A and B are shown apart, each in its own frame.
Chain A
Amino acid sequence: NAGVTQTPKFQVLKTGQSMTLQCAQDMNHEYMSWYRQDPGMGLRLIHYSVGAGITDQGEVPNGYNVSRSTTEDFPLRLLSAAPSQTSVYFCASSNFGNSPLHFGNGTRLTVT
């Protein structure tokens, strides 16, 4: 009963390093998305995808890339990490229509 799986759970990066946050879902959901959540703030959409091969920008896309080569996977790439990217990152997926989002457990990223 995996649902949405995110790895890693924790990561520390130095400024300028790059890395990929992994997200996989086993529910055959077409819609997948990445959010970041900063202390005292709501969830902000980074990128989203409505199906394999299709991605689009959310509210705060700068500094991040995504791809969707399969229905199951939606990795988030940090190109050159900055301290402003210190945050908790959540991946979420859903069916279309009126379906709710299912979230992964989150990745806590610190950039020093």
Chain B
Amino acid sequence: RKEVEQDPGPFNVPEGATVAFNCTYSNSASQSFFWYRQDCRKEPKLLMSVYSSGNEDGRFTAQLNRASQYISLLIRDSKLSDSATYLCVVNPRTTDKLIFGTGTRLQVFP
């Protein structure tokens, strides 16, 4: 089993739609979690950290489910500019290395 797994997609959604991605992790001791956004051929950029209580930033909501070992990202009112690959990142805390998922591709169409 991979340490961090994501559905590669693509998720094709119309503008205005709500879309959600999940990311599962294998190490139950993992302490910190992040969602990054990566545009084609660009560097990943931090979208949001994921806290135990869940957090929201505008149209974006991140949740952590420790019992089932997954994190989620919800995007409401999708915009064309949301089209990108979304990377899930986990700090397992057993090493110094952050573990990246392979990403979920989102395509928002008019």
Contact = CB atoms under 8 A, between A and B. Distances in A.
B43 A43 contact: no
Interface residues of A, number: 25
Given A98-B31, A98-B91, A48 B96 contact: yes
Given A43-B87, A48-B97, A98-B31, A103 B44 contact: yes
A96 B31 CA distance: 12
Contacts of B20: none
B96 A104 contact: no
Contacts of A58: 97
Nearest to B45: A103
Contact of A42 (B34, B43, B102): B102
Interface of B: 31-32, 34, 36, 41-46, 49, 87, 89, 91, 96-98, 100-103
